[in-house]
């Protein structure tokens, strides 16, 4: 026995080590901590040790490099900075004008979404983080960032850049976190194509390119179409840019479905800084509201500088608690609709003189005093019927008083309560027309 | 490739290193493998931990130590991924064992031998990886033969250079 062991010692050791690791693999695959196969709340000890021992060196290298680069860029390499500053300022002015023109669309969209009961999600709070490392292998497309549980990071938080979606937080350590990129084969992201409104699931393929899988082959998708998040995965907010369609390819594993290769919007191979979305809300954040107000003001200033004679409407727009622009102070409101010239001698054909049809009764007469024009509040006061008053100015000969109506039933004879007309919320309230009485004054 | 007779095993010198080298060099290789692709994405095609495993295995010419070193390097690599821990551990253990076994029989100081050795172990590593992921873990994985061959060639060329650098860490006896 001893000779057998000494003879095959190396092979036996190899078998033993492989067996232990295979059993370990089987345990991990058989009992994933969660349905997603994540390590669960308690990260495996070996993973914690390795990440905890390597990330300080990665941060040291990173910050050293940033320091050297910052010193070079901030103090030495300053050529053409002034020209660049001027061009950027011009760009900022142009963008402010663009933003001001888009504000109305945004607010209108919010009002319509509120009417439909649609809950839009807005990014409330983000945490900026530096990318400090990778997994080092193509089979696992994960990143490490220098923010962890001590900074309020939790698993499944979305990670983005200004260009687009990067991935989501997978494992969280004390001062570092692991980010699963959208081009990993085990990732999954609910997306929607911007034009065709085609929904699907995006994940990475073997070469590290994101692809949308399980697409019917009869769908007509063109290259260049934008891909955005659908919000259906309950992780990523709706509407974040993901990428653009590159081309459609056959998917032999899922025939007859095809796959759509996507060019990611974020530069996944050259990430330096990312934003972790730590809070999402259903209303426009206060910072964005103030940004809109500031942008309106700045845009008006820019317009005033470029077009001195133009009425820039420098009054600051008032925005309600839910992002609704108050109508009376809307500087970008469209001009009020054309009103007919007030008549010198109003009669029953004058606009506004006719009472609402709902208040009319067969055989009853009315006058302008009984049914005054609706007030702006939408409440029209009504007089009891059967009490006619003479018209102020009649062009036609007075007629005999109408025969009194037959004795109404008690229910009808009761005074009619004021009719409440539902107020119509104008998207852009027109200015109130001047009262006719003033116009008719000599 | 110069084959050595069996009786030459005892005559061959086992290369010795400072104990810290066995710890720091693999750690540095894993660190560079995780850090450099951030700045140089093309660097991800290299597999420095595998090259280091092969180097120390053929230098020590001891299958058990090569296997243990490979297991340690592989498990550390696994800890940085989001995949189950043990995939690279198994791969590097096999590579370390085989590299040490071959190192007892051939002259591994020859650059040509080193080139072929690393090329062979890179392909072996890729094949075993495919087998483990598909058969043991039942996970989807695609195989691109040409890409793997090119990757093996690049790693073999880089390995020859790295072997020459690591030779300077040997203890002179």
pLDDT in tens, A89-117: 989 888 888 887 787 777 777 777 777 66
Q: Rounded CA gap, B162 and B52, in Å?
A: 8
Please give the average per-residue pLDDT across B32-58, as a whole number: 90
Q: In degrees, to the nearest 5, what angle opens at C-alpha A195 toward C-alphas A191 and A198? A: 40
The pLDDT, as a whole number, for residue A216 is 84
Is residue A2 situated within a structural domain? no
Question: What distance in Å separates residue A133's CA from the closest CA in chain B?
Answer: 5
Token couple for A209: 């390119």
What residues make up the domain containing B43? 15-167
Is residue B137 situated within a structural domain? yes
Q: Rounded CA gap, A167 and A264, in Å?
A: 11
A135 vs B80: CB contact, 8 Å cut-off? yes
Q: How many domains does chain A have?
A: 1
- SS3 of residue A392 by DSSP: coil
Sign (positive/negative) of CA torsion A69, A72, A78, A79?
negative
Residues in CB range of A369: below 8 A, 6 or more apart: A383, A389
Q: Rounded CA gap, B92 and B55, in Å?
A: 12
Q: Give the range among A173-182, A219-228, A360-369, A383-392 with minimum mean pLDDT.
A: A383-392
Q: Does the model's ipTM exceed the 0.85 cut?
A: no
Is residue A170 situated within a structural domain? yes
β-pair partners for A189: A202
Report pLDDT digits (tens) over A351-402. 666 667 777 777 666 555 444 444 444 433 333 444 444 444 444 444 445 4
What residues make up the domain containing A207? 47-78+121-281
Is residue A99 situated within a structural domain? no
Q: How many domains does chain B have?
A: 1
Cis bond before residue A256 (omega within 30° of 0) = yes
Other C-beta atoms closer than 10 Å to the C-beta of A145 total: 27
Q: Which residues of B lie closer than 8 Å to A, measured between beta carbons?
A: 30-31, 33-35, 37-38, 41, 44, 49, 63-64, 67-68, 71, 75-77, 79-90, 93-94, 97, 101, 129, 132-133, 136-142, 144
H/E element, A258: strand A258-264
Question: What distance in Å separates residue B38's CA from the closest CA in chain A?
Answer: 6
Is residue A130 situated within a structural domain? yes
- SS3 of residue B97 by DSSP: helix
For the domain that residue A128 is a member of, what is the CATH number? 2.40.10.340
Percent of chain A scoring above 70 in pLDDT: 61
Residues in CB range of B133: below 8 A, 6 or more apart: A139, B87, B139, B141
Please give the average per-residue pLDDT across A9-17, as a whole number: 89
């Amino acid at each position: 026995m001893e000779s057998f062991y000494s003879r095959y010692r190396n092979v036996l050791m190899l078998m033993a080590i492989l067996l232990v690791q295979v059993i370990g693999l089987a345990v991990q695959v058989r009992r994933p901590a969660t349905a997603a196969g994540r390590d669960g709340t308690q990260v495996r000890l070996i993973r914690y040790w390795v990440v905890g021992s390597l990330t300080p060196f990665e941060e040291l290298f990173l910050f050293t490099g940033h320091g050297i680069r910052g010193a070079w860029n901030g103090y030495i390499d300053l050529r053409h900075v002034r020209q660049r500053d001027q061009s950027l300022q011009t760009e900022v002015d142009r963008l402010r004008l663009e933003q001001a023109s888009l504000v109305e669309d945004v607010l209108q969209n919010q009002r319509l979404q509120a009417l439909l009961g649609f809950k839009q999600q807005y990014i409330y709070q983000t945490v900026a983080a530096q990318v400090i490392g990778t997994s080092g292998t193509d089979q696992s497309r994960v990143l490490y960032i220098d923010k962890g549980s001590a900074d309020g990071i939790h698993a499944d938080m979305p990670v983005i850049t200004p260009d687009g979606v990067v991935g989501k937080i997978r494992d969280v350590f004390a001062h570092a976190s692991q980010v699963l990129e959208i081009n990993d084969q085990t990732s999954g992201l609910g997306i929607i194509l911007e034009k065709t409104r085609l929904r699907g699931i995006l994940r990475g393929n073997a070469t590290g390119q994101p692809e949308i899988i399980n697409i019917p082959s009869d769908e007509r998708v063109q290259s260049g179409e934008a891909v955005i998040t659908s919000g259906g995965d309950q992780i990523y907010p709706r509407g974040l840019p993901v990428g653009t369609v590159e081309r459609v390819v056959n998917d032999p594993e899922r025939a007859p479905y095809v796959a759509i290769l996507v060019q990611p919007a974020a530069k996944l191979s050259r990430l330096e800084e990312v934003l972790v979305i730590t809070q999402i809300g259903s209303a426009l954040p206060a910072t964005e509201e103030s940004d809109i107000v500031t942008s309106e003001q700045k845009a008006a200033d820019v317009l005033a500088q470029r077009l001195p004679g133009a009425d820039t409407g420098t009054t600051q727009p008032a925005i309600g608690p839910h992002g609704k622009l108050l109508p009376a102070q809307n500087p970008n409101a469209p001009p009020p609709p054309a009103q007919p010239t007030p008549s010198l001698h109003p009669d029953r054909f004058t606009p506004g003189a006719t009472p609402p049809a709902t208040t009319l009764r067969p055989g009853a007469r009315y006058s302008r005093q009984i049914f005054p024009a609706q007030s702006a509040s939408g409440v029209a006061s009504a007089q009891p019927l059967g009490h006619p008053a003479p018209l102020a100015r009649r062009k036609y000969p007075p007629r005999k008083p109408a025969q009194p109506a037959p004795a109404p039933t008690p229910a009808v004879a009761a005074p009619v309560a004021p009719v409440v007309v539902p107020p119509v919320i104008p998207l852009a309230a027109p200015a109130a027309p001047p009262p006719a009485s003033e116009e008719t004054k000599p | 490739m110069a084959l050595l007779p069996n009786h030459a095993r005892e005559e061959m010198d086992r290369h010795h290193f400072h104990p810290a080298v066995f710890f720091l060099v693999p750690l540095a290789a894993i660190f560079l493998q995780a850090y450099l692709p951030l700045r140089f994405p093309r660097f991800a095609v290299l597999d420095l931990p595998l090259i280091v495993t092969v180097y120390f295995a053929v230098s020590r010419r001891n299958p058990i130590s090569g296997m243990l070193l490979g297991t340690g390097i592989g498990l550390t690599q696994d800890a940085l991924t989001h995949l189950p821990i043990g995939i690279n551990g198994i791969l590097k253990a096999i590579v370390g064992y085989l590299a040490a076994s071959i190192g007892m029989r051939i002259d591994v100081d020859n650059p040509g031998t080193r080139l072929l050795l690393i090329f062979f172990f890179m392909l072996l590593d890729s094949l075993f990886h495919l087998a483990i992921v598909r058969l043991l873990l039942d996970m989807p994985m695609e195989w691109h033969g040409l890409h793997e061959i090119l990757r093996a060639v690049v790693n073999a060329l880089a390995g020859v250079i790295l072997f020459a650098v690591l030779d300077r860490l040997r203890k002179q006896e």
